[in-house]
Every structure is written in structure tokens, then in C-alpha cells.
Amino acid sequence: MPEPCTGTPATRASDAEREAVVDRLRAAAGEGRLTLDELTDRLDAALAAVTRADLEPLAADLPEQSAPSSRSGKGRRWIIGFMGGGDHRGSWRVASCCTVVNVMGGADLDLSGATVEGAESEIRVFSLMGGSDIVVPAGVHVELTGFAFMGGNALRGEHASPPPSGAPVVRVRAYSVMGGTDVKVRAATGRPRLGLGGAPADLT
């Protein structure tokens, strides 16, 4: 005769508990504790969590309460690409409003490993005979506006499904003359999940 199951069933998470974790994650990203890539991974997992046990690891390495704001404008607010140069990738901090100026060249920005100052970031790109390639991780709300004369601005690799609720927002305002700016959303397929290793997915 089989023995009865004596294990205690896992407690299901409530909508309020999911939202509380989302708020903690967004606050941690604003403090520079999480990159955009890490933030979007954890937001996906938080909103898909079924039990409290699913939620606990997502904020286990974060402080219980956000520290008082001590930001001193360390995010990059100006980036100059004159005849090339000015590229930013890997670990770097983006100001809530960042201005890029390209002349006969371009500064390329990869936001995958970047941290941001808040839930919304605006990048203004002014290009003359040049432009920028801007890479944004999947799971971020992306907007591209502006104009191009004798050139073009483009948003490539848009999301197959809308980013999750509470996802960070990146607004790109691109103004190009004889050039253009491409904003590329990194494909979600093959991205490492929380706690797993592996190389990031290729751009499509």
C-alpha cells in the first residue's frame, strides 16, 4: 500500500507579491545593482512565478530596502563620435538623458551590460555623415523617433511579444543628415536565464 504524501505544498504567489518583487528589481536597477539584461531576465521570471519559492531567488542577492539615493551624475550624459570612436559596451552607466554627437563617424552603444539611472532612459543621437548602432536587450520597451535626411534611422529585431509589465523604457531620438542610426533589439532566444551560464544570443 503506497504511503500517503506528507510534503507541504508550496504556497502560491499573489499578484501583490509579484508586483512587490518587480518594484524591488526596478529600484535595484536604478541603483546600478542590475544591468538591463539582468533586469529583464528577472522581470520575466517574476511575472511568470507561480509560488513564493519561485520569487525568492530573484531578489535574494538584493538589499531588503533601497539605500538612500546617492547618485552623483556618474552616468554618461555626453558621448562624442568624431571620425570614429566613442563606442560603449560591457559594464557602463547610462544617464537618464544621454546625448550622442556623431560627425563623419559614429559611436556604437551596447546597453546589454549597462546600468541605468531610472525606469526610463532617453538617448538623443545627432549625426552628420555618420550614425550609431544601438543594441538593446530583449524585454525592454524601445521607441525610435526623429528624422533622417539623405539617410535613414531604423528599429530592427522588434519583440515577438510585448515586453513585460514594469519593463524599463529606452527612447531613442535620432536626427541624421547623410547618415543614420540603427536600434537593434537583441533576440531573446538563447539568452542566459538567471543563475545559468552561457554566451549571449547573436543579433538578428
The answer to whether the beta carbons of residues 94 and 83 sit under 8 Å apart is no
Whether residues 53 and 132 fall in one domain = no
Please list, in sequence order, all residues whose beta carbon lies within 8 angstroms of the beta carbon of residue 72, skipping any fewer than 6 positions away.
none
Residue 192 included in any domain: no
Each residue's pLDDT tens digit, 105-137: 889 999 999 998 888 999 999 999 999 999 998
Whether residues 38 and 95 fall in one domain = no
pTM of the model: 0.74
Beta strand ranges found along 27-140 (DSSP E): 76-82, 92-103, 109-110, 114-116, 120-128, 133-136
Each residue's pLDDT tens digit, 23-71: 899 888 888 899 988 998 899 899 899 999 999 999 999 987 665 555 5
Residues of the domain holding 160 = 76-185
The answer to whether the beta carbons of residues 34 and 42 sit under 8 Å apart is yes
Whether residues 147 and 179 fall in one domain = yes
